[in-house]
Amino acid sequence: MKKKTRSVFVTVIALVANNAERVIPSLHKIRDTLNQFSGKELLIVDNASTDNSLVLLQKFQKMAQETRILVLSRHIDTEHALSAGFDHAIGDYVLTINLETDPPEILERLVAELMKGYDIVLGRFKEGELRKKSMLLSFILYVIGRLSRSGFVFSLNYCSGVSRKVVNAISRMNRRQRSFSYMYSFIGFRKKIITYVPDLSHIDKKHLAITKILSSVIDSAISNSARPLRIATFAGMAAGFINLVYILYVFIVAQLKKDVAEGWITTSLLTSSMFFVTFFILTIISEYLLRILNESRHDPTYFITDEYDSSVYIEDKASPLNVV
């Protein structure tokens, strides 16, 4: 057994979905890693498995009493399954790991960085590893990552470690559609990214399907970002400006050119004016929709990373105190 470090409580969240037989060896390695901490919790979220996964997990639980099992009533996506784990985790540090791709040794690195003072530590596939599996997928994810402020990460790569402050901050975000890449970017806090070599040898090809990745990107962008609406606003403004310029062009042609085709000026002015008004209205509507979206989310306007108190000695005790 490894020597225990300073007193710290670590929770590891692991997802299982019809794959317990393959990941039980990883669970044993995770348990060995957790033995070095004074407080430990292995929180397994069974994503409504239909095979004998739950039976195998219960057998494992009898050997590892620090294990808790959450069984979901129906299969849901990765982000919401992780949310179930975050809602029930009790550790000072909460780690998430993909049992099929992430080496258990990554947990020690995550905790080491958290103990240095970082609140969010993200594990990312080492550059070039995904390219070995799919060149096209690697390129698409690279482009998306560059365009996205929150650094979109697809569902296989959710290795991370966060402090209790981050868990509490996430719990304050009352939104149904969750993207941890977006939330980690939104809440701030001290962040660090580490890289590692994943095991992608036995990953099902359906998890790497381009259509599935693009669907996740679109869903994440629409659910968590105001950029699509903002793009629509600028597109409407640009189209309206172009039509306004065309109206001026028609007026100039009408003044300078005498042999204009009959009805061209009237038709052009009417058409361009109607398009200008239409795009102007759409621009205003998109801005109002953007504000309604921001208000309906009820996201906190601030997060506190640290608080420092000091004792103040009041010399004049006769002065009134502003104390409620």
Quick one: 307 exposed, middle or buried, by C-beta within 10 A (0-12, 13-18, 19+)?
A: exposed
Closest of 132, 156, 130 to residue 142, by C-alpha: 130
Closest of 74, 78, 65, 5 to residue 36, by C-alpha: 5
On the question of pLDDT at 257 being above 70, the answer is yes
Q: What is the pLDDT of residue 181?
A: 77
Interstrand relation of 120-125 and 67-71 (parallel, antiparallel or unpaired): unpaired
Angle, helices 135-147/210-224, rounded to nearest 10 degrees: 10
- In the numeric block, which tokens belong to residue 11? 């929770």
Residue-wise pLDDT tens digits, 74-109 = 998 888 899 999 999 999 999 999 988 888 889 999
Where are the chain's structural domains?
9-224, 227-297
On the question of pLDDT at 111 being above 70, the answer is yes
User: How does residue 115 score in pLDDT terms, banded at 50, 70 and 90?
Assistant: very high
Residue-wise pLDDT tens digits, 127-183 = 655 555 556 655 665 665 555 555 555 545 788 999 999 999 888 887 766 778 778
On the question of pLDDT at 59 being above 80, the answer is yes
The CATH number of 9-224 is 3.90.550.10
